[in-house]
Structure 1
Amino acid sequence: MRDADVPGFVAGLGLSGLVDLHVHFLPEPVERKVWAFFDRASAEYGTEWPIRYRLPVADRLATLTELGVRTFAPLVYPHKPGMAAWLNEWVLDFAAGTPGAVPTATFFPEPGVAEYLGKALAAGARCVKAHVQVGGYDPRSESLDPAWGLCAEAGVPVVVHCGHGPLPGEFTGLDVFERVLARHPRLVAVLAHAGAPEYTQALDLVERYPGVHLDTTMVGVPFNRSDELLPADWAARLAGVADRVALGTDFPNIPYDYGVQLGAIADWAAADDRLGEDFLRAVLHDTPARLLAVGEHPGETTTASD
């Protein structure tokens, strides 16, 4: 699917917009370093990674609007101590001044984590990002128990990059993260990239824990050979957890058109008779809207299907 096809595709489903749970906006110095890392992707990952939407902030926001993205979670994440509280302040300000942006937060295993995360949640953060792979930390750390507990108690979803993709880290792996779920079974955890490449194990966790969801970020797209890596029963198993899959894209840092991700999701819907358009409406709008509490805040309207 090309980007030019997206608005018509969305309208054809009876949706007035998309809700994207996995988008990145960062302070300019941090963003510059992230993009420089992707510029070295051939050395880091063994493949080129040309950032498709390497544009000024205003142009990126205009692109989301043109694509029909009405609500999105601008995710931030630290790679070392001392960053998270500052990132939380920045992204809360960004969301306050950006139509469609939902306030988010992040954390890191460090002194004061419960205090600054609690402050962000009290200020209205409705989604939290935990990046185990980039942060290089153990999600089972006792220092993070208060943070996971705060999120579980608040019912705020945590988008967790804990799978081995694109490269394994010291503390990546869904078996590691399951220890967190066992201690905090009420946690609303969204497995970023559907736990790639451990897709089968990710589906097992969704079935085992009622708060676990998957996001679609980079899943099923040709760039990372997901069409080869997805299990043969992927669509069939999605049919059993259809209300626990949410749109995520990694915009703007993807090396292909935004529409490619939507095309992959549409292929899953076509692969099993139990899915179809109801599944697409759930993934592209209803489930991420529920997770982000869209429409539950003053001055905010939903973009639900007619």
Structure 2
Amino acid sequence: MADDDDQVGAFWRQLGLPGLIDVHTHFMPERVLAKVWAYFDSAGPLVGRTWPIAYRFEEDERLRVLRGFGVRAFTSMVYPHKPGMAQWLNGWAADFAARTPDCLRTATFFPEDGAEAYVRAEIEDGARVFKAHVQVGAYDPAGVRLDAVWGALAEAGVPVVIHCGSGPAPGKHTGPEPIGRLLARHPRLRLIIAHMGMPEYADFLDLAERYPGVHLDTTMAFTDFSEQTAPFPRAERGRLAELGDRVLFGSDFPNIPYGYAHALEALTRLELGEGWLRGVCHGNAARLFGV
């Protein structure tokens, strides 16, 4: 991975871009990140396979590496796995964004008492994007306890990156069906489907065609690592091209088992054209987030 800086820089310069926007990166409190890494190291049940962390560095070094790639804006995806965590994580993320101006201020929530109030407070205080993790949180995203939260987010037009596909391992509430119910109730939501909805790619493309606020991020999709177990259907490349203005680049940095440049190489291999790549890697997110 020593050549990653050069390869990544060459990628976006050849496209005539000012750099990259990465909508799916993880910065979180150190003790939380350590637990996440330990879970990956153990190949826990939600991972299901060997998963070496490619960028296991201290926070300052991770920021240096990401900026060295030419990433001009990124997120700090935090997510709770139980009640009582979200507000603490949101406080940390707000402080991180305040000292990291190239980070889009990120927040999260959980189906619990007070969730609507703290989500509205985060929106009013400047949160740019929220993270929801249906697999880890093990909750129904369309459940009644989150209805007012989704209503507030739809009203404000703040995007939500949501891990709702059944990869790398299915959960009780993963898959397109709960998201379909959610969107039927809140059709104006700006949902960013993490990992392209892996492995239910076609179903989430259906939802994107039906609801104009639905976007998809490329996080880990199309890479050699993911193609081994959840290959993207070649027959769906046409729809991927047609929805190109709502596809956003995401990496899952630093928690990826390969070099950053490979995620971009995987996009190039789709052969959907330079215009598509420019939109995915910068233009679409720049428009969505106003950066």
Q: TM-score surpassing 0.5? A: yes
Q: Deviations over 1:95-144 (max 9, x none)?
A: 11013101111000000001111111111001000000000111111110
Code of the aligned partner of 2:273: G
C-alpha distance in structure 2 between counterparts of 1:115 and 1:191, whole Å: 24
Q: CA deviation at 1:234?
A: 2.8
Distance 1:171 1:42 in 2: 18
For residue 117 of structure 1, what is the aligned residue in structure 2? 119
TM-score (norm 2): 0.96
Q: Which amino acid aligns with 2:277?
A: L
* CA-CA distance at 1:43 after TM superposition: 6.5
The range that moved more, 178-187 or 95-104, is 95-104
Q: Hey, what does 1:289 align to over in structure 2?
A: 286
Cα distance in 2 for residues equivalent to 1:259 and 1:198: 25
Using the TM superposition, give the Cα deviation of residue 47 of structure 1 relative to its aligned residue in structure 2, in angstroms: 2.2
Residues 1-306 of structure 1 correspond to what in structure 2 (within 5 A)? 3=4, 4-41=6-43, 45-225=47-227, 229-268=231-270, 270=271, 275-294=272-291
Instruction: Tell me the distance in 2 between the aligned counterparts of 1:279 and 1:164.
Output: 26
Going from structure 1 to structure 2, the CA distance change for 1:158 and 1:45 (only over 3 Å counts) comes to closer
Q: Displacement of 1:233 after TM fit?
A: 1.7
Question: 1:292 deviation in Å?
Answer: 2.1
Matched pairs, number: 289
* Cα RMSD, aligned residues only: 1.5
Q: Contact (CA 8 Å) 2:40, 2:47: kept in 1 or not?
A: no
Q: Aligned partners of 1:57, 1:63: CA distance in 2, in Å?
A: 10
The answer to whether the 8 Å contact 1:42/1:49 transfers is: no
* Post-superposition offset of 1:227: 8.4
- Residues 68 and 12 from structure 1, CA distance in 2 versus in 1: closer, same or farther, beyond 3 angstroms? same
User: Partner of 1:70: helix, strand, or coil?
Assistant: strand
What amino acid is the match of 2:290? A
CA distance in 2, matches of 1:228, 1:38: 18
Task: Tell me the secondary structure at the aligned position of residue 203 of structure 2.
Answer: helix
Cα-to-partner distance string for 1:53-99 (whole Å, 9 max, x where unaligned): 00000000000111110100111100000000111111011011013
- For residues 124-175 of structure 1, the C-alpha deviation after alignment (integer angstroms, 9 at most, x for no partner) is 0010000000001111111101111111111111101011111111111111
Deviates more, 1:2-11 or 1:100-109: 2-11
Q: Distance in 2 between matches of 1:11 and 1:215?
A: 21
Identify if the C-alpha distance between structure 1 residues 167 and 212 changes in structure 2 by more than 3 Å, giving closer, same or farther: same
5+ unaligned residues in a row in structure 1: which ranges? 295-306
TM-score, normalising length from structure 1? 0.91
CA contact (8 A) 2:164 2:176 kept: yes
